[in-house]
Chain A
């Protein structure tokens, strides 16, 4: 255990992996909290899947595998996907869940086609592009982590400054509009920040499982508190814990892809929270019901 700690601090690869996955967990946790409270958990999933064709296209156009280039591609198609979803919901009779489902699968399908094409093209540089499906934290280098830190830091700064605005937008958008908040613009900004969170996680967790890093920490954090600010903090903490432990298992134990390991750690946190959180935990719920049933059977509410 101490050896591992020593390695995390002094080993170049492990340090990058730990920092990168912690960053992903923190940013994903904070922005995912807003997505979950606005009942838009699936939007994150759609966003992540729509990033895949962007990664492939960015590589095909530039021939580069630099994370910044691929991230930009991911962000662009992620954005286009979101805009299509918003448009479809606005202008047609198709409901939001169907729109999400359609856009997600179409974009992901295109992404897989492009990825297969690239892999068969004998481009020597293409090796490893498929890591973006399930993530491979071991490939993180210092420059990636710095890029992630800058992007993530900017996103978190936005949330810190506009905390009150985002809170009202999430709780009561109509009232927010009535007092003059530019609800449409805030909505676009918040969605863009979620795009950033997704893009940060691509290399570590991958497009397929990224949504879990938005929804999981938020769902677990909600169990433990009734304050939004505390919820954001806890979600960041849970996200970071799952990110770091998952990445460490994946890097040190074997050549397992990182995404699934991170998600398994996240799942453990979610299950414990769902069962044992005070007030909202299912276990205490059952205990309370039992004791009140016994009281009623023994006569009287007293």
Chain B
């Protein structure tokens, strides 16, 4: 299936990827393809290597072996097609800058060296803030934003990147229900316009509701494919090593839906 032509049309192809910190493998022989125009969840227990998978695709961590292609070429060549929403907690929100300024950072890559953002960049940034419902916060110092607002600002920054593929690291972590709804709506809009979204996700319950495609990860890939086919009880328990005592109602099984009582040992 890996003819070169097919690879060209694949937003993300990861081949034989192994990543190790010192002697400990974080990802082991990972082989996944991510199809175009889908909302793709990366799911797995803590320490499964979910963020590391995104970071290795984005060339942010050194690969021990294997390779990654974005639409058939290296990340370096395709960088402008990629948007990134890092974990909200990865930056210092007391940094002296405004909401609008953070969103403009999404355009720094296209601006190139030395050139500063001007009127055009300002307008685009305002438009992106409008989309996430944060236009009235444009001139706020970022330390005054709530967790949900910070996440929206990061999303707006990614929108300003005007990418084809978006990578989001736990965009729902610590946000309120309204913000989660708003973010999902924007993600769906992006999907409708043909973009691909790759999301590190923690809440198993909402996987079938939000996502088309799922990658179950625990150092190795446990399962990868359409949610209705591969998001099964067996796969989840395999990924979580039998530590799951609770599984959502909506989790399907090839042989029919799984009931909550079952997983509680009924």
Contacts and interface: CB of A to CB of B under 8 A. Distances in A.
Contacts of A170: 95
A172 B108 CA distance: 12
Contacts of B116: 163-164
Contacts of B79: 178-180
Interface in A239-258: none
B58 A164 contact: no
Nearest to A229: B96
Interface stretch (A64-72, A109-117, A138-146, A220-228): A220-228
Nearest to A91: B22
B14 interface: no
Contacts of A176: 108
Interface residues on B, range: 20 to 34
Most buried by B among A168, A178, A226: A178
Interface in A134-177: 161-165, 167-168, 170-172, 174-177
B141 A161 contact: no
Contacts of A37: 92, 95-96
B232 interface: no
Nearest to B114: A161
A200 interface: no
A170 to B, nearest CB: 7
A180 B113 CA distance: 11
Nearest to B82: A178
B84 interface: yes
A163 B143 CA distance: 21
Contacts of A178: 58-60, 79, 82, 84, 86
B160 to A, nearest CB: 11
A225 B55 CA distance: 34
A177 B58 CA distance: 9
A167 B90 contact: no
Nearest to A230: B96
Contacts of A171: 91-92, 95, 97, 102, 105
Contacts of B96: 37, 222, 225-228, 230-231
Given A227-B96, A227-B97, A174 B108 contact: no
A167 B55 CA distance: 22
A181 B97 CA distance: 20
Contact of A175 (B86, B95, B111): B86
B117 to A, nearest CB: 7
Contacts of A172: 86, 90-91, 105
Contacts of A163: 116
Contact of A165 (B98, B113, B141, B157): B113
B109 A180 contact: yes
Interface string B101-133: 010010011010111110000000000000000
B196 to A, nearest CB: 16
A227 B60 CA distance: 29
Interface of A: 37, 39, 161-165, 167-168, 170-172, 174-181, 222, 225-228, 230-231
23 contacts: A37-B92, A161-B114, A162-B113, A163-B116, A164-B111, A164-B114, A164-B116, A165-B108, A167-B97, A168-B105, A171-B92, A171-B102, A172-B91, A174-B55, A175-B84, A177-B59, A178-B79, A179-B84, A180-B76, A181-B109, A228-B96, A230-B96, A231-B96
Given A37-B96, A180-B79, 19 more contacts: A37-B92, A37-B95, A164-B111, A165-B108, A165-B113, A168-B105, A168-B108, A171-B92, A171-B95, A175-B105, A179-B108, A179-B109, A181-B108, A222-B96, A226-B97, A226-B98, A226-B143, A227-B96, A230-B96
